[in-house]
């Protein structure tokens, strides 16, 4: 999914020098050092993350078209309007469907392909490069390419017909009942490579001795995978789920370019709804409210997930580090 | 350390000072106009030829004739104006000249206080140069912009496909259009293409049905009040529903873009995959870039939107709009003088001759490239009433709500009453 830049394991790194530094007297030199090292990052974080969030929250309680003074205070009306609107409700559902499908479909697919590509087989490097290639494309280019291929009688339809699967041809982008799944297929095509690379990296951390031991104990290939490899892949899978869900919640580019959320809002996501209202309708106050909602949903998910799912991984890492 | 801190303070002061100064100058009075040499920033959407070259020449010629004026043209993607203009009008330094489509959008932009009232500086020439059309850039009787091209919407069709389906004359009534659709379908030709993905092409149909069903007085009053009350609006929705029931459009039209690629609605007509499309006068230009067919112009004809039996509207009323520019306050006098040049005969003739749109200045009409464009021009300029596209005529949020409601009906959802309700709800500020 969209790359959320959350290096989950940074705390361990950051805490190490802090512990040693405490022994020194805090001098000018150290303060300067801190300011020099932390300053730029903090400034950027403050200016481009915290301040905009604050401003968006401020705008969100006004009815404001983007021009003129902010003088129409409406309290939480924008929020209740958003949650009360059927289009936004369905947008949330669409995001959740994409997130759910990612876990149910993309994850097993990624694991399967990663296991396959982890074996010694001819042309492995080429195959690895191939599955990873779509991830390198920008979302905009992906969306444009797929829009062209999915046109009626386009490349996708012709391929299906040539393979004798003409019955599977649909109005991929025009049928409100299908369009969301078309979006999901495109996203899967684009991001599957990322999942595979992540899992391949995880697989390198599975010691060969363990597999060997399992094999000596008479475990079948499936048993080894199920009881040795998968548990050890746990941390990687949990990180992948985290990135994938956050990306699903923020889904925008592909949908906006391919359908602008249509037809009949059948592929609207929270982010396309935000842009549609904020910038196409000049409802900046309302758009800000939607942005805040989207932020809170992602933030709460991130906190809960870190607390309950990732804690084990990060704590384990810390213990290893200290011990 | 000490020296450094002082520098920081000075830098901070320097950064804040212009803000403070500009805050002082912001009042109801138009600011004093800069004297001496002036540089105008110009945001236009002419990113591609032919208009790109026309504007480059315009800038060069104007600067030569007015050595005290420098024009810094900044071509922006058309779609970017929606996001960039509101932000610019909030900033301390908006562009001096920016593209404006008049009516509802412009009315919203004026509330920023940065858009100049140019009534006094245009009154001597605007009527002579742009006729009644210039009034579309007025808000509450004050002139806030000047159009340089106008647009009219109608059916573009392929003569060869009509002929092969046995249609001898272009349809004049809805019945005839329906008959033509049946004939084309019988020949296995997609009768009409529409760019449903972009939504605004869908809205053209509702717009025209409303123009045919509603009297001119009702149209004017409804746009002014931003409220749809007359039953004719619901009838227009019903007409659209009936028309959609005849399934006149290409396969998968709800996902088709209007102008991008050979599979777009314009591309389908350009490549003979569909017989007609309801579009603005820019259609030939759009089509020519989407096909290899060098002889396209000779195959393309135009007819107005058909009449609707029993409608209260003037059967000759037209749907359209135009492109124009608005001035911000800083150097509005210099800006207005430049806009006057844009609607003068030489520039207007150049625009017409290069096929960039229909001129607002009647003297330039004879320079139009093709007969079919002259036909569109005559139809539009002779129309007893020109209704601006409703998504531009209404405030932005209301116009978008209308387009969405119509697009939903194209996707098989919603009712005629639903379109009317959607507009009235949006006008009332409900989401």
Q: Work out the minimum CA distance from B381 to partner chain A, whole angstroms.
A: 30
Residue B55 lies in a domain: yes
Q: Which of B413, B200, B192 is nearest to A177 (CA)?
A: B413
Contact B251 A68 (CB under 8 A): no
Reported as a pLDDT band with limits 50, 70 and 90, residue B105 is confident
Q: Which of A35, A37, A44 is nearest to A13 (CA)?
A: A37
Number of domains chain B is built from: 2
Q: Which of B24, B42, B35 is nearest to B327 (CA)?
A: B42
Chain A contact set for B83 (CB, 8 A): 279
Residue B311 lies in a domain: yes
Contact A264 B407 (CB under 8 A): yes
Clarify whether residues B219 and B348 are in a common domain: no
- Nearest C-alpha in B relative to A88: B431
Q: A148-203: per-residue pLDDT in tens?
A: 999 998 899 999 999 998 888 999 999 999 999 999 999 999 999 999 999 999 99
Chain B contact set for A282 (CB, 8 A): 86, 108, 396-397
Clarify whether residues B246 and B175 are in a common domain: yes
**Which candidate in B5, B85, B198, B255 is best for mutational testing of the A interface (most A CBs within 10 A)?**
B255
State mean pLDDT over B343-366.
93
In this prediction, residue B6 carries a pLDDT of 38
Chain A contact set for B411 (CB, 8 A): 174, 176, 262-264, 266
Q: Work out the minimum CA distance from A174 to partner chain B, whole angstroms.
A: 4
Find the CATH number of the domain harbouring B31. 3.40.190.10
Q: Work out the minimum CA distance from B116 to partner chain A, whole angstroms.
A: 14
Q: A265-315: per-residue pLDDT in tens?
A: 999 999 999 999 998 888 999 999 999 999 999 999 999 999 988 887 776
- Nearest C-alpha in A relative to B251: A152
Q: A98-138: per-residue pLDDT in tens?
A: 999 999 999 999 999 999 999 888 888 899 899 899 999 99
Clarify whether residues B118 and B159 are in a common domain: no
Contact A264 B109 (CB under 8 A): no
Q: Work out the minimum CA distance from A284 to partner chain B, whole angstroms.
A: 10
In this prediction, residue A310 carries a pLDDT of 84
Interchain CB contact of B86 with A (< 8 Å): yes
Residue B5 lies in a domain: no
In this prediction, residue A323 carries a pLDDT of 33
Q: Work out the minimum CA distance from A317 to partner chain B, whole angstroms.
A: 42
Clarify whether residues B312 and B178 are in a common domain: yes
Q: CA of B290: how far to CAs of B80, B264, B293, in Å? A: 22, 9, 9
In this prediction, residue A262 carries a pLDDT of 83
Token digits of residue B244: 């959609």
The answer to whether B295 touches B287, Cβ cutoff 8 Å, is: no
- Does the model's ipTM exceed the 0.85 cut? no
Contact A284 B199 (CB under 8 A): no
- Among A63, A68, A279, beta carbon nearest to B83: A279
A67 pLDDT exceeds 90?
no
Residue B3 lies in a domain: no
Interface of A with B (CB under 8 A): 63, 65-68, 78, 81-82, 85, 147-148, 150-154, 171-176, 179, 259-260, 262-266, 276-277, 279-284, 286
In this prediction, residue B48 carries a pLDDT of 83
B238 pLDDT exceeds 90?
yes
In this prediction, residue A15 carries a pLDDT of 44
For residues B35 and B70, give the distance between their C-alpha atoms in angstroms, rounded to a whole number: 13
In this prediction, residue A6 carries a pLDDT of 43
Buried b (16+ CB within 10 A) or exposed e, A267-295: bbbbbbbbbbbbbbbbbbbbbbbbbbbbe
For residues B397 and B111, give the distance between their C-alpha atoms in angstroms, rounded to a whole number: 15
Residue keyed to tokens 């060869």: B160
Clarify whether residues B284 and B220 are in a common domain: yes
Cβ pairs A/B, distance under 8 A = 117
Chain B contact set for A183 (CB, 8 A): none
Q: A13-61: per-residue pLDDT in tens?
A: 444 444 444 555 668 888 899 889 999 999 999 999 999 999 999 999 9
Interchain CB contact of B226 with A (< 8 Å): no
Chain B contact set for A263 (CB, 8 A): 196-197, 254-255, 407-408, 410-411
Q: Which of A255, A140, A248, A256 is nearest to A195 (CA)?
A: A248
**pTM across the whole model:** 0.86
Clarify whether residues B162 and B140 are in a common domain: no
Residue B20 lies in a domain: yes
Highest mean pLDDT among A62-66, A224-228, B307-311: B307-311
In this prediction, residue B87 carries a pLDDT of 87
What value does the mean pLDDT of chain A take?
87
**Which candidate in B249, B252, B326, B407 is best for mutational testing of the A interface (most A CBs within 10 A)?**
B252
Residue B166 lies in a domain: yes
Chain A contact set for B396 (CB, 8 A): 65, 280-282
Chain A contact set for B414 (CB, 8 A): 264
Give alpha helix (H) positions in chain A: 10-21, 28-45, 51-59, 77-84, 86-101, 107-118, 124-136, 139-149, 155-162, 179-204, 208-216, 221-224, 230-249, 253-258, 270-275, 284-305, 311-322
Chain B contact set for A262 (CB, 8 A): 196-197, 199, 254-255, 407, 411
Residue B172 lies in a domain: yes
In this prediction, residue B22 carries a pLDDT of 38
Residue B2 lies in a domain: no
Biggest CA–CA distance in chain B, Å, is 90
In this prediction, residue A74 carries a pLDDT of 93
- Among A65, A147, A175, beta carbon nearest to B108: A65
A320 pLDDT exceeds 50?
no
Q: Phi first, then psi: give them for residue A256, nearest 5 degrees.
A: -60, -40
Clarify whether residues B145 and B237 are in a common domain: no
Chain B contact set for A147 (CB, 8 A): 257, 261
Q: B55-80: per-residue pLDDT in tens?
A: 999 999 999 999 999 999 999 988 88
Contact B400 A281 (CB under 8 A): yes
In this prediction, residue A316 carries a pLDDT of 57
Clarify whether residues B314 and B332 are in a common domain: no
Q: CA of A84: how far to CAs of A81, A176, A219, B423, in Å? A: 5, 22, 55, 18
Chain A contact set for B196 (CB, 8 A): 174, 262-263
The answer to whether A248 touches A240, Cβ cutoff 8 Å, is: no
Clarify whether residues B304 and B234 are in a common domain: yes
- Sign of the C-alpha dihedral computed for residues B397, B400, B406 and B411 taken in this order: negative
Q: A220-262: per-residue pLDDT in tens?
A: 988 999 999 999 999 999 999 999 999 999 999 999 999 999 8
- Among A176, A276, A277, beta carbon nearest to B411: A176
Helix (H, G, I), strand (E, B) or coil at B148: strand
In this prediction, residue A21 carries a pLDDT of 47
A70 pLDDT exceeds 50?
yes
Buried b (16+ CB within 10 A) or exposed e, A72-101: eebeebbbebbeebebbebbbebbebbbeb
Clarify whether residues B51 and B15 are in a common domain: yes
The answer to whether A97 touches A180, Cβ cutoff 8 Å, is: yes
Residue keyed to tokens 């004739």: B65
- Nearest C-alpha in A relative to B86: A66
- Among B250, B261, B430, beta carbon nearest to A81: B430
Clarify whether residues B181 and B204 are in a common domain: yes
In this prediction, residue B23 carries a pLDDT of 38
Clarify whether residues B165 and B24 are in a common domain: no
Range of the domain at B419: 155-318+393-429
Residue B221: partners with Cβ closer than 8 Å, 6 or more residues away: none
Helix (H, G, I), strand (E, B) or coil at A98: helix
- Among B113, B400, B407, beta carbon nearest to A280: B400
């Amino acid at each position: 999914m969209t790359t959320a830049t959350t290096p989950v394991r940074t705390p361990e790194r950051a805490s190490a020098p802090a512990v040693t530094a405490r022994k020194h007297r805090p001098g000018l030199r150290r303060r300067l050092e801190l300011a020099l090292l932390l300053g730029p990052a903090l400034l950027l974080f403050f200016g481009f993350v915290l301040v905009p969030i604050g401003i968006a929250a401020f705008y969100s309680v006004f009815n404001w078209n983007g021009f003129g003074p902010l003088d129409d205070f409406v309290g939480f009306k924008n929020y209740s309007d958003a949650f009360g609107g059927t289009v936004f409700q369905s947008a949330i559902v669409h995001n959740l469907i994409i997130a759910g499908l990612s876990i149910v479909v993309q994850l097993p697919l990624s694991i399967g392909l990663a296991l396959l590509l982890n074996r010694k087989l001819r042309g492995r490097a080429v195959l690895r490069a191939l599955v990873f290639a779509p991830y390198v494309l920008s979302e905009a280019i992906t969306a444009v390419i797929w829009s062209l291929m999915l046109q009626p009688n386009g490349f996708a339809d012709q391929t299906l017909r040539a393979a004798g699967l003409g019955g599977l041809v649909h109005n991929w982008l025009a049928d409100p009942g299908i369009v969301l799944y078309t979006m999901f297929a495109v996203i899967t095509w684009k991001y599957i490579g990322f999942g595979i690379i992540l899992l391949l990296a995880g697989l390198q951390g599975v010691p060969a001795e363990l597999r060997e031991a399992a094999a000596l104990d008479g475990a079948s290939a499936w048993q080894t995978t199920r009881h040795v490899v998968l548990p050890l892949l746990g941390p990687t899978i949990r990180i992948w789920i985290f990135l994938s869900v956050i990306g699903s919640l923020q889904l925008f580019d592909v949908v906006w370019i391919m359908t602008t959320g249509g037809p009949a809002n059948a592929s609207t996501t929270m982010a396309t709804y935000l842009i549609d209202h904020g910038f196409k309708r000049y409802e900046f106050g309302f758009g800000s409210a939607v942005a805040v909602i989207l932020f809170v949903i992602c933030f709460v998910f991130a906190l809960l997930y870190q607390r309950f799912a990732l804690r084990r991984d990060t704590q384990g890492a810390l213990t290893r580090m200290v011990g | 350390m000490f020296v450094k801190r002082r520098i920081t303070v000075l830098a901070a002061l320097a950064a804040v000072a212009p803000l403070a100064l500009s805050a002082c100058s912001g009042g109801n009075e138009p600011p004093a106009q800069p004297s001496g040499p002036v540089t105008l920033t110009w945001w236009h959407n002419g990113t591609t030829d032919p208009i790109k070259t026309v504007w480059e020449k315009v800038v060069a010629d104007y600067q030569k004739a007015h050595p005290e004026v420098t024009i810094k043209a900044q071509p922006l993607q058309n779609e970017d104006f929606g996001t960039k203009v509101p932000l610019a009008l909030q900033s301390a330094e908006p562009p001096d000249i920016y593209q404006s489509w008049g009516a509802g959008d412009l009315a919203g932009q004026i509330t920023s206080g940065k858009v100049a009232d140019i009534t006094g500086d245009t009154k001597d020439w605007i009527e002579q140069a742009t006729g009644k059309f210039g009034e579309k850039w007025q808000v509450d009787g004050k002139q806030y912009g000047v159009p340089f091209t106008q647009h009219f919407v109608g059916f573009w069709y392929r003569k060869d496909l009509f002929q092969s389906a046995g249609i001898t004359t272009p349809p004049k009534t809805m019945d005839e259009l329906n008959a033509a659709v049946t004939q084309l379908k019988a020949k296995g030709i997609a009768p009409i293409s529409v760019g449903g993905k972009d939504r605004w092409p869908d809205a053209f149909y509702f717009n025209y049905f409303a123009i045919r069903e509603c009297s001119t007085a009702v149209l004017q009053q409804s746009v002014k009040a931003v409220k749809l009350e007359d039953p004719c609006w619901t009838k227009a929705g019903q007409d659209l529903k009936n028309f959609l029931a005849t399934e006149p459009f290409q396969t998968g039209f709800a996902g088709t873009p209007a102008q991008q690629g050979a599979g777009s609605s314009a591309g389908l007509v350009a490549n003979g995959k569909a017989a007609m499309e309801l579009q603005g006068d820019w259609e030939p230009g759009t089509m020519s870039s989407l096909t290899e067919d060098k002889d396209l112009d000779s195959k393309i004809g135009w007819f107005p939107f058909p009449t609707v039996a029993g409608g209260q509207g003037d059967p000759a009323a037209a749907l359209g709009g135009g492109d124009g520019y608005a001035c911000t306050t800083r150097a509005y006098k210099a800006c207005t003088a430049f806009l006057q040049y844009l609607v003068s005969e030489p520039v207007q003739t150049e625009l017409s001759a290069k096929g960039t749109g229909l001129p607002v200045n009647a003297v330039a009409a004879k320079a139009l490239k093709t007969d079919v464009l002259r036909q569109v021009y005559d139809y539009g300029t002779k129309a007893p009433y020109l209704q601006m596209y409703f998504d531009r005529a209404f405030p932005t949020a209301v116009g978008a709500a209308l387009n969405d409601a119509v697009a939903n009906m194209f996707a098989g959802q919603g009712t005629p009453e639903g379109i009317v309700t959607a507009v009235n709800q949006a006008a009332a500020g409900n989401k």
